[in-house]
Chains A and B, each alone.
Chain A
Amino acid sequence: MPRRGASGTAPDMAAPIDPIIGRYVHVSLSGRPHRLYFEEAGEGIPLVCLHTAGADGRQFRHLMTDRDVTDRFRVLTFDLPWHGKSTPPEGWQREEYRLTTRAYTEAIRVFCAALELERPVVLGCSIGGRIVLSLAIEHGAEFRALIGLEAADYQAPWYDTTWLHRPDVHGSEVCAGLVSGMMAPQSPEASRWETLWHYMQGGPGVFKGDLYFYRVDGDLRDRVGAIDTARCALYLLTGEYDFSCTPEDTLRTARQIAGVETQIMKELGHFPMSENPAQFRRYILPVLERIRARG
């Protein structure tokens, strides 16, 4: 099990407090003011974690309280606009949210610049894994290393996204119902349901809007071959139970990228960091250690 920050260290049995600090940063994205919520923990190499579609940065709370990570890395996560505790942009009530490659890339680069992060590592899961591939293609020199969890150049769709946002179906119930099967049966029940809770708390149409990027705008087939891993190291890790981004999808992607390091993770699904943190750290710690050793 991960060693926890404050827990167990206080001699007087004080209530444990996670060593995670949450704040808000004001930035401009696509010419509109945004107030983004972000959290951070630890010191060292900046490691920016990107949440999955329709969720938020809470997915990384275990990584952020694992001292084997935070002793060497300054772990940061921010909630994309419209997600978690980030405020949706003014006028949101009269528009349909749709994430695009351009907007997603801008949000990541603007966040890193606003926090003055020097050549950060970016780790992204699912849509975060897809954008990591796009960052590797377009902006590899800006990053120390990139880590894609449940990442591939393309995945075949497996449901009709109109079910995600309509008045006669409860959005939070259906979002959770759809993603519930993307986790491994071995993952602890409490962690699986905590992961689903994040999905139950997404705003109406936000998960659907993220999937626009995933399915329509972010197709990277025939483009990932341009990734230069000598300039920026790339790691791809996918859970064996992920049927949305299957191990085959990741391996097909990896075959096109010289120098990429790929692992299929046993007994994990689409949400490795939150569905089974103890199992995930067995895979992510060696990757982080290699990144640290490369400097």
Chain B
Amino acid sequence: MAKETERALAADLAARVDALPTLVNSDPWLVHRGRFVTTELLLELGRGAYYLAIERGRIAALERGPRPMPSWRFALRAGEEAWRRFWQAVPEPHYHDLFAMAKRGELSIEGDLHPFMANLLYFKEVLAAPRRERHGA
């Protein structure tokens, strides 16, 4: 991939992640779905790391890494190209779901998975929210 394209992709992905707190916090039903979720997670896009602090379903803080002493309950790590495909308005097969990507080895789901699994519908909707950004879907 040409350097310029690579930079444009990274900027687009960063913008999508930056929009996450607004997308989630402005959706009362999604916040309600996550009303029992208070946790910290790491979202990794290629070499870019984002730390999300969730309090009762709201994204209370979003911080771009690196962090000197990172701490999180669970982490979702995938390459930039995988997230780009995942966040298309109509994603292609194998990139339409977190577990679909995990099965192909494109996404790793690590750490203490209890908060993730106990609130799976919530986290799936949170992580798919950037599909709405810029596509109005």
Contact = CB atoms under 8 A, between A and B. Distances in A.
Interface residues of B, number: 20
Contacts of A243: 93-94, 97, 99-100, 103-104
A30 B24 CA distance: 51
B2 interface: no
B19 interface: no
A87 to B, nearest CB: 30
Nearest to B109: A159
Interface residues of A, number: 21
Contacts, number: 53
A169 B124 CA distance: 16
A177 B128 CA distance: 13
A241 B93 contact: yes
B117 interface: yes
A178 B113 CA distance: 14
B117 A185 contact: no
A240 B100 CA distance: 12
Nearest to A159: B99
Contact of B96 (A163, A174, A178, A184): A184
A181 B118 contact: no
Interface in A136-181: 156, 158-159, 163, 168-170, 173-174, 176-178, 180-181
B59 interface: no
A181 B124 contact: yes
Contacts of B121: 173, 176-177, 180
A164 to B, nearest CB: 10
10 contacts: A158-B99, A173-B119, A176-B121, A177-B117, A177-B121, A178-B99, A180-B124, A181-B99, A185-B96, A186-B90
Pairs A-B, 3 closest by C-beta atoms: A181-B97, A177-B120, A243-B100
Given A177-B117, A240-B93, 18 more contacts: A158-B99, A158-B102, A168-B114, A169-B114, A169-B117, A173-B119, A174-B117, A177-B124, A178-B99, A178-B120, A180-B121, A180-B124, A181-B99, A181-B100, A181-B124, A185-B91, A186-B90, A241-B93
